[in-house]
């Protein structure tokens, strides 16, 4: 005969075995936790703005509603952050990185890059924007169209190799013939835009149009700059309506087009959020779903619009597929693309 005490002991044993056999649910995991979102750029830049917009709405779509804090790890065009995510960051789903898309394709396009990471092994949560990047000159510059840039030397501010603000100047010089003189070494777009106001340089290239509108709305409103070129796989309708040509108007042969498609393919995932390799699959699924839900959240969209941020999202699965496809590009196209980006 089973006594009450024996019955309780048996029940406790059964419950303990069930607990051991059943993995912790993701909502149990994220409750009362803190997610650290690390941005590979400087505070106040375009990537920081997107990260903070996401932060304000992301948690409510994650079961357990964890706290989210934003940190920054700039340096080497966000290569420092990519190395950190791959080699040192915890693989528990509590660290999310936002690195420049140029770093995703960096090991493919720059064999000298000191990368301790494999971009195809990161786990992509999604991208907030299919970006259109622009070249722009400040008021007073004699370069008011891209046609002018093909004819006269124009002094442009750039960051470091691997960053779009440097790399885009390079391939536009080599593949399209722009007569850009590059002043390199700026920390990011904030510093270059300030340098333009001081008349130290004439312009900037490789900056997302949404970032430029957000960082310098008065330049847009008061016509204090000349947007001379847009770059992207697709044409931005709003810029086209303003008479800003797409790069494809200046590309004349098929090989050049394939090279530029490889370089510009990164813009499809213009604002990528990612996890280190090795995060448990059930947490990846939770964070990817929450990202997609946030991108469709009317409150988030309204917040982004108020900040001047364009939201044209891509899912984590889509970004993962694109990165894999880019790394499967033909060797001859990769070689020429690398040459186009050399300092």
142 with 256, same domain: the answer is yes
Closest CA to 123 of 151, 102, 95, 162: 95
Nearest alpha carbon to residue 113 among 76, 87, 84: 76
In a domain, 114, yes or no: yes
Q: Is residue 326 included in any domain, yes or no?
A: yes
Q: What does each of the 343 residues of the chain score in pLDDT, given as a tens digit?
A: 555 555 445 545 544 444 444 444 555 899 999 999 999 988 888 889 999 999 999 999 999 999 999 999 988 778 899 999 999 999 999 999 999 888 898 888 877 777 789 999 999 999 998 889 999 999 999 999 999 999 999 999 999 887 889 999 999 999 999 999 999 989 889 999 999 999 999 999 999 898 898 889 999 999 999 999 999 988 999 999 999 999 999 998 888 999 999 999 888 888 999 999 999 999 999 999 999 999 999 999 999 999 888 898 999 999 999 999 899 999 999 999 999 888 7
Instruction: Name the domain count of the chain.
Output: 2
221, 243, 265: which is the final residue of a domain? 265
Same domain, 146 and 261: yes
The answer to whether position 15 is within a domain reads no
CATH number of the CATH domain containing 182: 3.40.190.10
2 inside domain? no
Is residue 324 one of the residues assigned to a domain? yes
Q: Of 247, 265, 283, which residue sits at a domain end?
A: 265
Let me know: does 82 contact 117? Beta carbons within 8 Å: yes
| Pairing mode of beta strands 154-157, 180-183 | parallel
In a domain, 276, yes or no: yes
- Please indicate, yes or no, if residue 217 is contained in any of the structural domains: yes
Q: Which tokens go with 46?
A: 């375009």
Domain that holds residue 316: 26-129+269-340
> Do residues 169 and 259 share a domain?
yes
- Same structural domain, 108 and 152: no
Contact 205, 165 (CB under 8 A): yes
Decide if 328 is inside a domain: yes
Sign of CA dihedral 258, 260, 261, 266: positive
138 with 259, same domain? yes
The last residue of one of the domains, among 217, 244, 265, is: 265
Check: CB of residue 83 under 8 Å from CB of residue 95. Answer: no
Both 93 and 159 in one domain: the answer is no
């Amino acid at each position: 005969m089973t006594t009450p005490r024996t019955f309780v002991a048996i029940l406790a044993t059964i419950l303990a075995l069930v607990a051991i056999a059943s993995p912790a649910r993701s909502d149990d995991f994220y409750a009362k936790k803190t997610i650290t979102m690390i941005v590979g750029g400087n505070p106040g830049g375009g990537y920081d703005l997107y990260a903070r917009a996401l932060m304000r709405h992301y948690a409510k779509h994650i079961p357990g509603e964890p706290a989210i804090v934003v940190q920054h790890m700039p340096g080497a065009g966000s290569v420092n952050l990519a190395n950190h995510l791959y080699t040192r960051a915890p693989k528990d789903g509590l660290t999310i990185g936002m690195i420049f898309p140029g770093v995703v394709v960096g090991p493919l396009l720059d064999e000298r890059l000191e990368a301790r990471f494999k971009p195809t092994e990161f786990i992509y949560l999604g991208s907030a924007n299919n970006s259109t990047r622009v070249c722009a000159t400040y008021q007073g510059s004699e370069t008011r169209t891209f046609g002018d840039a093909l004819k006269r030397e124009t002094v442009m501010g750039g960051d470091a190799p691997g960053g779009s603000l440097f790399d885009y100047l390079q391939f536009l010089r080599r593949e399209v013939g722009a007569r850009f003189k590059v002043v390199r070494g700026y920390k990011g777009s904030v510093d270059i835009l300030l340098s333009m106001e001081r008349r130290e340089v004439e312009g900037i290239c490789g900056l997302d149009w949404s970032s430029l509108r957000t960082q310098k709305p008065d330049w847009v409103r008061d016509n204090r700059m000349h947007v001379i070129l847009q770059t992207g796989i697709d044409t931005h309708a709003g810029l086209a309506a303003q008479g800003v040509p797409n790069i494809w108007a200046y590309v004349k042969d098929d090989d050049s087009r394939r090279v530029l498609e490889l370089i510009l393919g990164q813009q499809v995932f213009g604002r990528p959020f990612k996890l280190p390799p090795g995060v448990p699959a059930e947490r990846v699924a939770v964070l990817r779903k929450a990202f997609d839900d946030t991108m469709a959240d009317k409150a988030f969209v309204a917040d982004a619009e108020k900040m001047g941020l364009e939201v044209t999202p891509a899912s984590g699965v889509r970004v993962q597929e694109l990165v894999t496809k880019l790394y499967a590009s033909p060797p001859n196209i990769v070689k020429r693309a690398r040459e186009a980006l050399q300092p």
